[in-house]
Structure 1
C-alpha cells in the first residue's frame, strides 16, 4: 500500500477500537493497522469469528459496558452495519439497518461519555446514499441530504454520531461509495455474472455509480484520521463516477466477455421490491475534501481499478 504523508502520525502506541471489524472495510483496516504496529480491539457480536479471522493479534469485545472508564482507545472507527443486499427488505430487515448503524452509534456514545480521556478521533461510517437518488447534478460534502429510504438511514446514523462530538477531539463522517475489491463485496456477483456473459444494463443504465477501491478507502481513512485539519463529512469515492451501463461495459471488456443483457426496471422491482433501489438509483459524488487536502488516489480511474483488482 503506497504511503501517504499524513499516515506518519500512526505509531505503536495507538490503540484502535473498530466496530464492524470483521466486514470488508473493517477487516482490511484492522490488518493494515496491525501491520503498522498499532493495537486493535474489535467490537463484535461474534468473538469466535473475530479470532478466527485475526487470531490472537486482536482483542475481541462483545460488550462495551464491560470496559473500564479508562479504556484508553486513541481512535474509534464505527464501520458496522447489517448488509443491505442478500434478501428482500422486510420490515424487520429495514429496522435492522437502523439498529446496526445508529443503534451502535448510541452504544459508542454512551461508552465515550464515561471515558476519563478523550479518544483523538471517532470515524463514523456513513454512505453516499446520504445524498439520495441523484438524477442530475453532483454532490460534494456540502450538499444536502436526500429524502429517500437510504438517505434516512444515513442521516440518522450521522445524527447519532454527532452526539459523540463533545467526547472526542475530532469527528469524521465517512460517506462511502461502492467499494471495489477482489476480496468480495459488490464486485463478487458482478464479476461472476460478467464471466458467464450475464453482465447486464440495469434499468436505464443511466444511474450513477460512485466507487472507490478497497485499497484507496483504507488509505483515505488513515489519511483523514491522521491529518488533524480534516473533520466532518468525507466522501470516500474516486473522482471519476460513471453510469451503470458504462461500468458494466468496462467490466465486460476487461473480462473479455460480451455484454448484451438488459434487466428492465419493472422486472427488478417486481422480484426485488424495495431492494431494487440499490440497483436502480445512484449518486454522482466527488471527493472534494480529499482533493482539497491533496490526497492521492492509487486508482483514480475505473480502468486503473479493474487492472488492480481483476
Structure 2
C-alpha cells in the first residue's frame, strides 16, 4: 500500500514503519525532516505538512497519529490548547481532503485513546460504551473522533482507541522504570484504578490487521485483553525486574505535582478489545507479565 502517515516519528508510527517498510510505501509529515530522515531512513518520503499534498487520491490509506504527548507537560490552559490543536486541526484537514477527493483513500485510520470512556470502575468496557462523566481527556477524544468521522461518507474510518503502549526503552514504560530499578516501585494512589495497555508489537500488528480487513470500521479498542488494576500492574513489573514492591505514591502528592493531569494516573478504565478479538486478531502478548518480559 501507498500510505500517508502523520505522527510517523512517534513511538507507534516509527515502529510501524520499521516493521512494514518493505511491505508499504510511506509518506510522512514532519516538522523536522533531518531528524525524521535519520530515524525513518531514506525509503520514506518526507513532507513538512499535509498542506504539501495536492492529491490525496495517490494514497491507498491514511494513518493519522499526530498529536503532542499528553503526559509530557502539566495541563495548563495553553498546554490544553496545544494538545487539542495538534490533534483536531490535522484530523479535520485530512477528513476534508478525503471528502474532496474524486478517488479517496480506501481507509482512514485515525488516532484516539481510551480516555474517550472517562473514569470507570473495574467493569470491562468495549467499543459500544460511552463516557459516564466528562473531563478533559473525554472532550479531547470525542472531538478528535468527531472530526475523523466527517470522512466516513467517503472512506472507511477506523478510530484507534489506544491504551498505554508498553515498549522497550521508549514511551510511558521507560518513564516508569527508574524507581523500580532502584527498588522503589509501588502503586499510585490506592492502586485500584484500572489500566488498559498494549504491547508495542501487538499495536503495530493490529494497525496492519485493520488495513487488511475492510470489514472493520468505527471505534476499535487498541488494548490487550488483560487490563489490570494499577497495583497488579506495579507488582508484576517489580516481579519481572526481580525488585521489591513496597513503596506507594499517595494520590495527593500526584495531584500537587501534576495538577489535573494526575487524573490520568489516578483514574482509569478496563478497556477490552472486543472488535479485534471477534474478528480473529490474535495477541502475542495478552497478559501484562508477557508484555513486561519483552519490554523491560
Q: TM-score under structure 2 normalisation?
A: 0.96
SS in 2 for 1:272: helix
Q: Distance in 2 between matches of 1:60 and 1:24?
A: 17
May I ask how many residue pairs the two structures share in their alignment?
A: 295
**Aligned twin of 1:238:** 224
Alignment of 1:25-104 (within 5 A): 25-36=12-23, 38-69=24-55, 71-104=57-90
Q: Distance in 2 between matches of 1:247 and 1:308?
A: 15
Q: Distance in 2 between matches of 1:141 and 1:51?
A: 36
> 1:158 aligned to 137, 145, 149, which one?
145
Instruction: Report if aligned partners of 2:227, 2:270 keep a CA contact under 8 Å in 1.
Output: yes
> 1:284 aligned to 261, 266, 270, which one?
270
Deviation sequence 1:22-46 (CA, Å, 0-9, x none): 000011112222132x110001222
> 2:120 aligned to 101, 115, 134, which one?
134
Instruction: Report if aligned partners of 1:208, 1:242 keep a CA contact under 8 Å in 2.
Output: yes
**Aligned twin of 1:123:** 109
> 1:206 aligned to 178, 192, 198, which one?
192
Deviation sequence 1:56-101 (CA, Å, 0-9, x none): 1111111323222365000100111101122211111101111111
2:197 counterpart of 1:187: no
**Aligned twin of 1:223:** 209
- Which segments of 5 or more consecutive residues in structure 2 lack a partner in the other structure? none
Q: Distance in 1 between matches of 2:181 and 2:95?
A: 45
Instruction: Report if aligned partners of 2:224, 2:287 keep a CA contact under 8 Å in 1.
Output: yes
Instruction: Report if aligned partners of 1:179, 1:186 keep a CA contact under 8 Å in 2.
Output: yes
SS in 1 for 2:125: coil
Q: Distance in 2 between matches of 1:159 and 1:114?
A: 18
2:286 counterpart of 1:300: yes
Q: Distance in 2 between matches of 1:228 and 1:86?
A: 35
Q: TM-score under structure 1 normalisation?
A: 0.92
Instruction: Report if aligned partners of 1:82, 1:97 keep a CA contact under 8 Å in 2.
Output: yes
Q: Distance in 2 between matches of 1:35 and 1:255?
A: 35
**Aligned twin of 1:263:** 249
Q: Distance in 1 between matches of 2:217 and 2:130?
A: 17
Q: Distance in 2 between matches of 1:23 and 1:152?
A: 23
Q: Distance in 1 between matches of 2:250 and 2:50?
A: 46
Instruction: Report if aligned partners of 1:69, 1:114 keep a CA contact under 8 Å in 2.
Output: no
2:16 counterpart of 1:16: no
Q: Distance in 1 between matches of 2:261 and 2:5?
A: 28
Divergent runs of 4+, >4 A: none
Q: Distance in 2 between matches of 1:172 and 1:113?
A: 16
Q: Distance in 1 between matches of 2:189 and 2:90?
A: 35
Q: Distance in 1 between matches of 2:57 and 2:172?
A: 35
Q: Distance in 1 between matches of 2:234 and 2:188?
A: 9
- Which segments of 5 or more consecutive residues in structure 1 lack a partner in the other structure? 1-13
User: What RMSD in Å do the two structures reach over aligned CA positions?
Assistant: 1.3
